[in-house]
Amino acid sequence: MPKYIDIHAHVNFKVFEDTRDEVIGRALENDTWVINIGTQLDTSQKAVEMTNDYKEGVYSTIGLHPIHTSASYHDEQELGPAFAKATDGQGKVQEFTSRGEIFDKEKYKELIKLGKVVAIGECGLDYYHLDEDSIEKQKVAFISQIELANELNLPLMVHIRNNYENKNRDAYSDALEILKNYSEAKGVVHFFEGSIEIARQFIELGFYISFAGPITYPLRKNGKGCDYQGVISQLPLEQIMADTDSPYVAPVPHRGRQNEPIYVAEIVKKIAEIKGLSEKEVAEAIVSNAKNLFNLPR
């Protein structure tokens, strides 16, 4: 039984191309299991293929991230600079946009045959770069992935992000309304940054809540953002998980560096501090929660 589980990392991304073995090796040597998350068909396939390189401790999810349902700027860390930029006929470098993938259930089902898949996603709703035209596409893809997860009896890896400058749209509320139509759905909301009221609604649906590096950051003086202290202190430990979302948002004291799964220990430590519990108790509970949801080896 591992000491830690990072339930949401992207070591399958291009940014880890030259260091992937070292990063996974450090995690496993420090008793940390890793679930690598697919964001579209190609990154999903890479995540699944990676599971075959390790007897135990490295798992994958397959899914279509909401931002990839429409044309959007590529992240170089995800797909590499060769994918992020293109040169026009006059030699000028221009930004290159996503192809806008349509979720193909049969293609994703084929990936399951390639390795150890423990969930569907990351899927959900992302209103951060709010594009009204994309919202319906996001919802269609989300529903398709919920239905696939139910068909395969797999949990969901849910991504939800708001644009806090736009009070007319709430991705958390919209996601809840969709999930309420699927009583058999189960899963975890990763990188949670909503309210305690929203968290409780997800828990009532049988979902877990996972926290990432920002819980270790100082509270924003402008009052914006999640009240992590308040939310974590009120949630039952039996419904909490931890994720790094590597390579992004490294926790303190690694903030500003490239994130990696081994740093999930700092997130667990902060959860323990907030809840007034020992790090050992919190780490054991999170591992147990993850094993229960993802049906991992015991």
Question: Quick one: pLDDT at residue 172?
Answer: 98
Instruction: Return the SS3 of 125.
Output: strand
Instruction: Say which CATH architecture domain 4-294 belongs to.
Output: Alpha-Beta Barrel (3.20)
Question: Quick one: pLDDT at residue 92?
Answer: 37
Question: Quick one: pLDDT at residue 77?
Answer: 66
Tell me how far apart the alpha carbons of residues 289 and 5 are, in angstroms, rounded to a whole number: 10
Q: Is residue 54 pLDDT above 60, yes or no?
A: yes
Residue 298 near residue 291 (C-beta atoms within 8 A): yes
Residue-wise pLDDT for 63-85, tens only, equals 999 999 987 655 666 666 654 44
Instruction: Return the SS3 of 182.
Output: coil
List C-alpha distances in Å: 159 to 17, 79, 121, 128: 24, 19, 8, 12
Q: Which amino acid is residue 5, in one-letter code?
A: I
Question: Quick one: pLDDT at residue 70?
Answer: 85
Residue 119 near residue 35 (C-beta atoms within 8 A): yes
Mean pLDDT value across residues 195-206? 98
The gap from C-alpha 99 to its chain's centroid, in whole angstroms, comes to 21
Question: Quick one: pLDDT at residue 93?
Answer: 37
Q: Report the percentage of the chain scoring pLDDT > 90.
A: 82
* Average model confidence (pLDDT) across the chain: 91
Residue-wise pLDDT for 152-177, tens only, equals 999 999 999 998 788 789 999 999 99
Residue-wise pLDDT for 18-32, tens only, equals 999 999 999 999 999
Give the pLDDT band of residue 87 (cuts 50, 70, 90). very low
List C-alpha distances in Å: 199 to 67, 154, 190, 266: 23, 21, 11, 22
In the chain, where are the structural domains located?
4-294
Provide the b/e sequence for 240-265 (b: ≥16 CB within 10 Å): bbbbbbbbbbbbbebeeeebbbbbbb
Q: Is residue 94 pLDDT above 60, yes or no?
A: no
